[in-house]
Each structure stands twice: as structure tokens, then as C-alpha cells.
Amino acid sequence: MFGFDAIELARIQFAFTVSFHIIFPAFSIGLASYLAVLNGLHLWTGKNIYLRLFNYWKTIFAVAFGMGVVSGIVMSYQFGTNWSVFSDKAGPVVGPLMGYEVLSAFFLEAGFLGVMLFGREKVGPRAHFFATLMVAIGTLGSAFWILSVNSWMQTPQGHAINEVGQFVPVDWWAIVFNPSFPYRLVHMVLAAYLTTALVVGAIGGLHLLRDRMDQGARVMFSMAMAMLIVVAPLQIVAGDFHGLNTLEYQPAKIAAMEGHFESHPEGAAPLILFGIPNSETETVDYAVQIPYLSSLILTHDLTSPLPGLKDFPVDERPPVDIVFWSFRVMVALGFAMLGLGLWALVARMRGTMFERKWLHRAAIAMGPTGFVAVLAGWITTEVGRQPWTVYGLLSTNDSVAPVEVAAVASSLVAFIVVYFLLFGAGTFYILRLMNKRLEDRIPLKSIGPIRTAGVTPAPAVDDKFIPAE
């Protein structure tokens, strides 16, 4: 198809399906935790607003989770259909980790999801909170195992290679807790929390613009902005540590991210803010640089050596331009998130957080940026790993299944059509749910004003006296 061979098509198919898939976990990991918090707050404070918020986001979660599940099942089988040689060789190491994901996390989410969505009346508030908590823990467990797999593929250790070329586990502790795993896990979970905070903040902002007295919108917006100001700085620090780790274990990737073709044996490497990496001349054209800064960021020292792409054979360098740009997109968005959080913090301290229309508009504009940053981050790390599936040990070209071009091409087309159709519709439904005001979501039973001893006709309706459903 269009002159592509089977391996290129398999790569496109994997990139497409995995990019589509990651959107949903990035959202549902954060949202599941948010739901657990809301459910817990309702249980402990007795305030009805938390239950109403829970019910509001629960529906959105259910739609997103459904899409995450079905696109995830596709991923789990694609290793076999398109990357069967990888499956045979890396299966003994990677397979059990994924097996643990299914056994410890996937079942937990799926098993308690039904109770969380349908069962509040049947099981009571405490068991319902427990079910919500289990769903949240399940999503985090999923992240744990999948990032362990991914990290092992990036920084493999704890294995041997047997006579038929399979990776054989030797030390499971070393495999699971491989060198890049802690950084990757923290970075991804924080990214999921940021993504959710941005979405919740955007929806809060949207409803505040319409009615700044909207109680649900106020709580949403306030919680989301608080989350942002806590998590965004943490994420920047976590990203910095992750960078140090990548420099140690995947120097070629760092060189591509930074756009360093030349090595800097004495340190003092400049930070290339922008420019156009040119693989042919092995230079960065039109580079805007800040002296010394790259060395300072990457080694926390001005004089430590930094390798460049020219230190690596041409066929072992990742595609530099994609990695260079996706990395910049991610970092820029990260700082923009921090900026939004600071803005909201200042407004909060001045007591004007619910009045600042431009703040609400900015929150709406930033709503989808978590997804973009997550995608850019994954592109950076996955394209930066090329040309390897298992870093330094198994090349992507040697991992592909013996499947004919026609089969991969037609399945790729089918995936693209189906995904855009179905997930497009799903996104539309989610946006429509988000567009509804909280009050519209839950039909309130009219109970009229509460009269105290017949002398106060004023509408003294306390929120907690209004039944939710």
C-alpha cells in the first residue's frame, strides 16, 4: 500500500492504535482517583454536592472507560498479530508482567465497575465507596505493570538469552524495578492527574462563565486548580529526574531530544530552544540557543560531558526531528500548565477565582492540552527508543510478524475508519455530557422551603437536605 512494506505498516498500525488508546487511560486513571475522592468526601462530610459531582463525572468516566477497554483489548492482541517474533522472544519476560496487569488490575477495575456504576442503591454508600476505590486502585495497578513492561523494553536488565534467542528471566526484581521504571511510572501517573485536572478545570470554567454562582462548577474549578498547582511543579521535577535517567541509560535518545549532533566532552552544552534539526548536514538550522543550559539541566553541572548523535552509528540513531519537536511540545505545555495553576492561585488568594473570566477562558483553552502533552511525551520516548524494541538488544525490524502486506494494510485501514467513527462519536457524547450543567444532570426533587417553627418563610434550603435522585 503506497509503497509501504509490512514492517512500516505494522509500525504505523501500532503507533495509531496505541496513540488512540493512551488517551483513555490518561484520562481514566486520573478520573477514577477523582471519583474516589468525591465519593469519599461525600461519605465523610455528608455534603450532597460531592455526590452530585460524583454522578456527573461517573457517566463521563463510564463512556471513556468503555472506549479505553475496547481499544486496550486491541493492543493486547496486536503483539501477536503484528509483532509475533517479538512475542516469541520477549514473551517470557514481558508476558508475565502483562499477566500480572490482567490479574491484579484489569479484573479489579472491571469487576467493581458494575457495582460503582449501577450498585449504589443495592450495596449502600460504604460498599459503593469501596467499589470506587477498587476501580481507582485498579487503574493505578494497570499503570504500574504496563510502565514496568515499557520501562524494561527501554532499559532491559535481569534477563539472559537462551539458545533459541528468547529473553529468559533471571532476576524478576531487577526486571520489574528496572532503572527507568520509577521515573516513568511517576511521570505517567502525574501526567494522568494533570490531564484530568485540566479537563475538570475546563468544564468548571465553562460553567462558571455561564453562571459564576453555579455551585458544582465552583467546586470543580477550585479542586482542579488546586490539583494543578500541586501537580504541575511536581511533574516538572519528575521530568527533570527522568531526563537524568535517560541520559544515563539512553544517551542517543537524549541527544535527539536536545538536538545535539555534536558531543560535548567538556560539558558546556547550550540548550537549543528552537531550530530545525537537519539529519543530512547533521546540524540544527536556525537554532536559538542558551549557552550552558543544556549541560546544567541534564547533568546538573556545567562541565560534565554530554554525548551527541554523532557518537552513535547512523543506523542506531532515533529519527531526530520527531523526537526534537514532540519533546518541545511536551515541555512547553508543562510550563503552560504551571502558569495556569499560578494564575489561579493568585486569583484564589485575592478571592476572585470565580470572577476572573479570562482565567476561566484560559482553563477552557488548556482543557485538552493534557492529552496533547501525554501523546507528545509518549512519542518522545517511543520514537526516541528506535530502532529498537528492546533497547540495544532486539531491533524493531527483527520483531515483526511474518504477515503479508495486504493483511496489515487492510487491517490498518479498518482500524483507522472504525476508530475515527466510533471514538469520534464517543468524544462527541462525552463533550455533550460535559456541556450539561450539573443541575440538569440530576433531577432534584422539589421539597420546598424549610420552615423553622413557622416563623422563617425564607428559602432556607440547605444543600444536604436535597435528595440526589
Partner 1 sequence: MIFDLAFIWAGLIAFAVLAYVILDGFDLGVGILFPFMHGEESKDLAMNAVAPVWDGNETWLVLGGGGLFAVFPLAYAVVMPALYVPIIVMLLALVFRGVAFEFRWRTKRGKFLWDISFTFGSIMAAFAQGIALGALVQGITVEGRAYAGGNWDWLTPFSILTGVALVAGYALMGATWLVMKTDGPVRRVARRMAVWTGAATLALVGLVSLITPFLNPSYLDRWFGFPNVLFTVLVPAAILVAAFVFAKGMRENRDAWPFLATLALFVLSFIGLGISFYPYMVPPSLTIRDVAAPDESLWFLLAGALVLVPMILAYTGYAYWVFRGKVDPAGGYH
Residues between 397 and 456 that touch partner 1 (CB under 8 A): 401-404, 406-407, 411, 414-415, 418-419, 422-423, 425-426, 429, 432-433
Q: What are phi and psi of 267, to 5 degrees?
A: 75, -145
Q: What is the DSSP string of 131-197?
A: HHHHHHHHHHHHHHHHHHHHHHHHS--SEEE-TTS-EEES-HHHHHT-TTHHHHHHHHHHHHHHHHH
| Numbers of helices and strands, H then E, in the chain | 16, 6
Phi, psi of 288 (to 5 degrees): -105, 115
The interface with partner 1 within residues 10-69 (CB under 8 A) comprises 58-59, 62-63, 66-67, 69
We find the least distance from the C-beta atom of residue 2 to partner 1, in angstroms, to be 20
1 binds partner 1 (CB under 8 A): no
* Listed ranges 102-110, 146-154, 238-246, 313-321: which one lies at the site for partner 1 (CB under 8 A): 102-110
Minimum separation from the CB atom of position 306 to partner 1 (A): 38
Q: How far is the CB of 333 from partner 1 (least distance, A)?
A: 29
Choose, by CB under 8 A, the member of 8, 19, 47, 88 that binds partner 1: 88
Residue 265 Cβ, how far from partner 1 at the closest point, in Å?
41
Closest CA to 286 of 295, 275, 270, 297: 275
Q: Residue 280 or residue 432: which is nearer to partner 1 going by CB? A: 432
For the bound state, the minimum distance from the C-beta of residue 364 to partner 1, rounded and expressed in Å, comes to: 22
Q: Nearest Cα to 279, choosing from 319, 329, 250, 306?
A: 319
What is the distance, to the nearest Å, from the Cα of residue 66 to the centroid of all Cα atoms in its chain? 17
Instruction: Return the number of the residue (21 or 264) whose C-beta is nearest partner 1.
Output: 21
Q: Decide: is 85 part of the binding site for partner 1 (CB under 8 A).
A: yes
In the region spanning residues 150 to 189, those forming contacts with partner 1, defined by CB under 8 A, are 162, 164, 166, 168-170, 172
Cα separations in angstroms, 414 against 13, 64, 166? 10, 21, 32
Please, which residue, 103 or 288, has the CB nearer to partner 1? 103
Among 91, 182, 233, 387, binds partner 1 (CB under 8 A): 91
Q: Which is nearer to partner 1, 133 or 323 (CB)?
A: 133
The nearest distance, CB 295 to partner 1, in angstroms, is: 42
Distance CA 267, CA 277 (A): 21
Q: What is the closest distance, in whole angstroms, from the C-beta atom of residue 403 to partner 1 in the complex?
A: 5
Give the shortest CB-211-to-partner 1 separation in angstroms: 24
Residue 45 buriedness (CB in 10 A; 0-12 / 13-18 / 19+) = exposed
User: Which range touches partner 1 (CB under 8 A), out of 96-104, 307-315, 377-385, 458-466?
Assistant: 96-104
Widest Cα–Cα separation across the chain: 90
Among residues 103, 234, 273, 365, the one that binds partner 1 under rule CB under 8 A: 103
Site for partner 1 in 320-379 (CB under 8 A): none
Which CA distances in Å does 157 have to 179, 190, 274? 8, 25, 35
465: contact with partner 1 by CB under 8 A: no
At its nearest, how many Å lie between partner 1 and the CB of residue 23? 14
Q: Is 104 in the site for partner 1 (CB under 8 A)?
A: yes
Q: How far apart are CA 252 and CA 311, in angstroms?
A: 8
- Distance CA(263)–CA(195), nearest Å, equals 35
Which residues in 190-249 contact partner 1 (CB under 8 A)? none
Q: How far is the CB of 193 from partner 1 (least distance, A)?
A: 23
Among 5, 45, 46, 102, binds partner 1 (CB under 8 A): 102
Nearer to partner 1, 82 or 299 (CB): 82
> Sign of the CA dihedral 262, 263, 265, 271?
positive
Beta carbons of 407 and 371 less than 8 angstroms apart: no
Applying the rule CB under 8 A, the residues between 125 and 144 that interact with partner 1 are 134
Span near partner 1 by CB under 8 A; candidates 22-30, 83-91, 287-295, 368-376? 83-91
Instruction: CB nearer to partner 1: give 234 or 418.
Output: 418
In whole angstroms, the minimum distance from the beta carbon of 110 to partner 1 comes to: 4
Q: Is residue 305 reached through a cis peptide bond, with omega within 30 degrees of 0 on the bond before it?
A: no
User: What is the rounded CA–CA span in Å between residue 363 and residue 373?
Assistant: 15
Which lies closer to partner 1 via its Cβ, residue 16 or residue 312?
Answer: 16
| Residue number, 172 or 241, with CB nearest to partner 1 | 172
Secondary structure letter of residue 160 according to DSSP: E
Least Å distance, CB 93 to partner 1, is 7
70 or 302: whose CB is closer to partner 1? Answer: 70
With 0-12 / 13-18 / 19 or more C-beta atoms within 10 angstroms meaning exposed / middle / buried, residue 212 is: middle
Which phi and psi angles does 160 have, rounded to 5°?
A: -125, 175
Q: Looking at 180-328, which runs of residues are DSSP E strands?
A: 271-278, 283-290
List the grid coordinates of 235: 511533574
Q: What is the grid cell recorded at 40?
A: 469519599
Q: Binding residues for partner 1, how many (CB under 8 A)? A: 76
Q: Is 288 helix (H, G, I), strand (E, B) or coil?
A: strand
Q: Which residues of 70-217 form beta strands (DSSP E)?
A: 159-161, 167-169
**Cα 60 to Cα 136, 436, 440, 457, distances in angstroms:** 15, 11, 15, 39
